[in-house]
Amino acid sequence: MLIPKEVCANTIIDLGCGYGRSTLEILKACENVYSIGIDVECNKLINNVVGKTEYHVDFICCNSIALPIRDSAVNSITSILTIHELPTDSITSVLNEVNRVLIKGGYFLVIDKVKVKVENPSGELPLLTELAYHKAREYALGIKSLGVLTPKELIRLVVNAGFKLIKQGVLKRGKWLSGAGFLKCWGKETLKLINMISDEEKKAELMRLVNRIKEAALRYGYGPVNIIVALFKKP
């Protein structure tokens, strides 16, 4: 994982850390820092992968729209594969919280999936799988996620929240997977959500998308994924 050196200073918050894999990568990349992993799902934090190590790290279970951190308290904040998962009605509040708790001159690192022109059908599958999952979550739970944006859309979103873009790049990450290999590990959560949908028309819509994903995977394989690495600064 690419962690710019500017991020490595004193106290770092890792938003949407899940099981702490991204938090661990930050701690490995940055020496002598204190990190706080934050996620709304408490069970993931309890079962974090960091374990008992030499690292200085704590985890807080909370919603990122209201961080239990005082104003101007941290040097850096990271959001790694998190923003596209946030509900559309909370993204502004989350970015405002990031701005509030960062020190002046602090850094905000965003690493996320993005929509770009793909060279072959296997490169389209990461976007289709995200679309299927987010639509299933919306139809089953009423949660509309922001979803995967273009690089320009994502940068504009953060800049409009009061940050200055320092540098950015779009990279391909992950390996190409065979269709059979991909389908062995994909779809469980999406299908679980689809089975919760009571509207038969919406359920049928999503099953058509799932079948499209399966056919494309078997024909072309999956990936790699296009991600943006964008570093912002609080003026």
**Average of pLDDT values for 141-152?**
96
To the question of domain 63-233 being in CATH 3.40.50.150, the answer is yes
pLDDT in tens, 32-88: 899 999 999 999 998 888 865 678 899 999 999 999 999 999 999 999 999 999 999
Query: Has this prediction a pTM greater than 0.75?
Result: yes
d(CA 118, CA 179): 18
Q: Is 155 helix (H, G, I), strand (E, B) or coil?
A: helix
Q: What per-residue confidence (pLDDT) applies to 51? A: 67
Tokens of 107: 């850094």
**Average of pLDDT values for 157-183?**
94
pLDDT in tens, 84-118: 999 999 999 999 999 999 999 999 999 999 999 88
**Average of pLDDT values for 133-162?**
97
